[in-house]
Amino acid sequence: MKRKEQITNLLYFLIRLWRLKLMTRSTMKLVKGVTAGIAAGMAVGYMSKNMTDNKKQIKKKAGKAIETMSDVVDTVSYMFK
């Protein structure tokens, strides 16, 4: 009877160890995702700070972007005629 209990306890231990390993993997995936999100946020924040420093250049580029989009919409509407 004692041998059977020992085997059962060993199996329970191995199952707990396996679950811990799976939980550690999923936790590491979460940590990697959060780290990537923080890095992306920092990059966007840095770029937006640099962009707001020169407002005249931003207005000029925004005007060009709107003009280009207008041309694209005109071209697409012409293609569907």
Evaluate if residue 4 carries a pLDDT over 70.
yes
Report pTM. 0.43
Domain hosting 30: range is: 2-79
Give the separation between CA 57 and CA 46, rounded to whole angstroms: 17
Please answer whether residues 60 and 54 qualify as being in contact, where contact means their C-beta atoms are separated by less than 8 angstroms.
no
Kindly report, residue by residue over 22-41, the tens digit of the pLDDT. Answer: 888 777 787 888 888 888 88
Mean pLDDT of 4-17: 88
Q: Which of 6-10, 40-44, 49-53, 71-75 has the lowest mean pLDDT?
A: 49-53
Label residues 54-75 b or e (16+ Cβ within 10 Å = b): eeeeeeeeeeeeeeeeeeeeee
Residue 57: half-sphere exposure toward Cβ, Cα within 13 Å: 5
The number of folded domains in the chain is 1
